[in-house]
Amino acid sequence: MAEVFSTMVGKFESLAVDAAVAAALPARGLSHVHFDREAVVEYRGVLEGHVTIRCNADGALDIARGLLMLDAGDTSLSIEEINDALKECANMVTGHVKTRVLDPLGGCQLSVPFVNSVATSAAAARDRMLLYKLQQGLISVEIWRRETAASAA
């Protein structure tokens, strides 16, 4: 993921992976962080599931400013611009997963990215979560796989 984020936001820090997420947050003074937005891309093929990018408001702004090459203090972005940037971020991350993981297994089709409003605590960590500190906000990456008849056999 480092290659993907470095092209989007430049500076970022990996905070935790998987179950270590919940333990890492209080130590960094981040136990109160909530995610309020997510962008999702589904994949279907040999494996099926989705990649979800979750972020807080500052994380969403960091991503949008990074993709649009704006200064860190620029807050003149519309909700539509921010959502478009989140969808592009989810698309880039899912494309990375597709190239590295899914294509060698037989490929897949990707959905059009979509954005949801959510209210999720960062401390309520799930398996398969990568957590990153951006310039001012946080972002998590989650990769989910659905059980299908073919994968159960």
- CATH number for the domain including 89? 3.40.1550.10
Domain total in the chain: 1
pTM beyond cutoff 0.95: no
Q: Is residue 151 part of a domain?
A: no
CA distances from 126 to 29, 45, 120, 140 (A): 19, 24, 11, 10
Letter for the amino acid at 135?
Q
Are residues 122 and 35 in contact, defined by beta-carbon separation less than 8 angstroms?
yes
Residue 121, pLDDT score: 57
Q: Which domain holds residue 31?
A: 2-145
Q: Is residue 133 part of a domain?
A: yes
Residue 35, pLDDT score: 83
Dump pLDDT digits (tens) for 52-105.
999 989 989 999 998 888 887 787 899 999 999 999 999 999 999 899 888 888
Q: Is residue 150 part of a domain?
A: no
Q: Is residue 43 part of a domain?
A: yes
Q: Is residue 152 part of a domain?
A: no
Residue 10 burial by Cβ neighbours in a 10 Å radius (0-12, 13-18, 19+): middle
Mean pLDDT of 9-25: 60
